A and B are shown apart, each in its own frame.
Chain A
């Protein structure tokens, strides 16, 4: 059995699965249920200035009959009184001392407000802070949330204020609503943040009701941009995480990964790209806290199979495999192969290649079943057919190197090698 426990800046949790700062972590009742279910830690829903929430608050993007491929919310930070939150945080820490308790903060934009808030929270026995510089709706209009995270200078200033007062580790949560997360990441690391977490939600309009013509979520005939999350955002989050893991400054601090994590596989991918712990929200909101069981078991089994004794054996392992385009090996070539024994003759590979790719699949008419085969000399090895094929391992990619030698684009140009002639 592998050891899946995490030690994040001295904050220990029995597993790397934390619940992100969000509705599931906004009160004792939910958090105790989460701990009972087995979650390694929680980031308590953001505390800060007084807010009032609206109804409705969520909307979603469904895909091909599956609910919530993407999820969107316009809920603000905690709308419960601060003293009740503080009291409940202390109770949760007392009842589950082995779990990580991070408290998300978003104070008014002045030094005193941050200092006061930090002092109050430190008294609860919580283990760390997460600075909410990412919330893309509601708070930004007041100069908070993403409006802090989008400006490296402001973010740096606020982190400096925080570090003056905080004795606990501080995680700064980055907004994805920027062209790159690195500038703010660098600024806050230089300002002394102990760690980073990313991504927060992405500004979005999930869709429009085609009867009322008003976008979702609907609030009395209007809507606003909401924060997008859920499985749809995972690839974006992984990319942003990679840039943090590959930067000389930001890679010096540990990272808690967030963005569409629903399964142990998603978690392993975030960790392979540099996250020490991961935070989950949408998947729990869709299925309840019970999903953590398979997350723990699945990660454990995978680690055993791969021979990883602890999570530190694989954290960041995939970071070096993401390179620059110029460094890719042009001499690598592979072509698709259709296993005729597995083919069910759906023709999806054919029409995709014929209409939108390189006309590399032949069709031999049959009634009712056509036969499809790869024209190897035409195939550019793009993967499209393999991605579309509904049958596992029916289409495989076979390596046909142009040459054994590694050859990148710069060298290719330098040698004046021929370009495509069609």
Chain B
């Protein structure tokens, strides 16, 4: 038992990390599904999309072979429409509310159709948007993730010159660094960022981190407004004995490594435990398995009914051979010679609902010990509390407090996405970026 890299051959890695939801192979296949769409009025799918993509319209446009129009319909509402078609948990959003579900029929594969139109647009570099002439206003956006770039795109379309400051060397944020590689490849993320910035008027300064290369005061001085889309940081601490042992990893760091270092260069344990049952936990567990771990066990302190991931995601993990231990809360990491070797969990039962509205897990007094050489923490991400606090931005345990959805307590400084909501879907961040841009227009007297 040990943590090591290169457990598999390159061919095995390629197979394990290939596209989990392959696109339509041809036009006819897309048309069969597009023609099934009923073209609902005031459509439930659109209402279930945080960015309100006009789904019936873009699907109708596929059927009339107006793919450019279809792509524009999508990107108008969601400039990350390409990435979202791959990473959105559509089973609880658009596809989950498709009226076909009420007929007990398969819903329209909205994500796959959205990918059909957006992929063509991104691959062929269609110029779908035209920027208004520059109006001289300058806005700084911090973070080139979904919230920041969505905001930047809307701003630039209206003629505002936008400078985006990004601490990493690539744009896309968690889309690029925090999602399972079998959903979106790093190459696609790069293409998507290029597609967004091809509008013009958006300059991204990479390797520029707030609080290091520049300060919020610098931005307030040099720009007419500031939008913070700084996301959230590493995984929450477990605060249990043994957490410092070698082999106890952070899910965000683990996924980041997979996306940046190449599959063979990422060490993975033989027996892996993933703590948590959200989307990130699933991404960590499935990818640990796909990197060659022989056993992956997911532990969650509540029962299956309270899981944060969708059933579709859970099924992916199950099909990958991950085991689930429900009602188990980490109590202590046992080690040997400084290395983790097992996780002791309290066995829980469900009690009255807690602050989250879910039944609270209560220890039964019994414990279970699971052997592991790698333990991955995925119990939610930690906001950048220090950074936010240092800049005198009002916050709640690191989450930026906003009024009217986007305004921080500092005049001219707006915020949105994970740094405000604590960590939701990409599509939520895109919507937050749009709302931020609208607020900035109004602040700058442009509307």
A residues sitting closer than 8 Å to B (CB atoms) are 64-66, 344-348, 350-351, 363, 367-370, 390-391
Contact = CB atoms under 8 A, between A and B. Distances in A.
Interface string B171-203: 000000000000000000000000000000000
A346 B48 contact: no
B31 interface: yes
A394 to B, nearest CB: 10
Contacts of B103: 344, 391
Contact of B43 (A347, A363, A390, A391): A347
The B contact surface, by secondary structure, is helix
A398 to B, nearest CB: 23
B63 interface: yes
- Of A346, A350, A390, most B-chain CB atoms within 10 Å: A346
B1 interface: no
B97 interface: yes
B40 A64 contact: no
Which 3 residue pairs are nearest across A and B when measured between Cβ atoms?
A: A347-B41, A368-B44, A65-B35
A346 B35 CA distance: 15
Interface residues of B, number: 20
B253 interface: no
A370 B40 CA distance: 11
B39 interface: yes
B38 interface: yes
Contacts of A369: 44, 97
Contact of B38 (A65, A363, A390): A390
A369 B47 CA distance: 9
B41 A351 contact: yes
Nearest to A389: B38
B102 interface: yes
A344 B41 CA distance: 12
Contact of B102 (A344, A348, A350): A344
Contacts of B32: 65
A345 B41 CA distance: 9
A65 B63 contact: yes
B42 interface: yes
A363 B41 CA distance: 11
Contacts of A367: 47
Contacts of B35: 64-66
B38 A370 contact: no
Contact of A370 (B39, B42, B100): B42
A317 to B, nearest CB: 36
A346 B63 contact: no
B77 to A, nearest CB: 16
A368 B97 contact: yes
Nearest to A346: B40
Given A65-B32, A65-B63, A363-B42, A344 B47 contact: no
B63 A347 contact: no
Interface in B1-53: 31-32, 34-35, 38-45, 47-48
B142 interface: no
B99 A346 contact: yes
Interface in B79-105: 97, 99-100, 102-103
Contacts of A370: 42
Interface string B115-137: 00000000000000000000000
Contacts of A346: 38, 40-41, 43, 99
B445 to A, nearest CB: 33
B105 to A, nearest CB: 10
B99 A345 contact: yes
Nearest to B40: A346
A344 to B, nearest CB: 4
A367 B49 CA distance: 11
A347 B42 contact: yes
Given A65-B31, A345-B102, A346-B99, 9 more contacts: A66-B35, A344-B100, A345-B40, A346-B38, A346-B41, A347-B42, A368-B44, A368-B47, A369-B44
Nearest to A369: B44
A65 B39 CA distance: 15
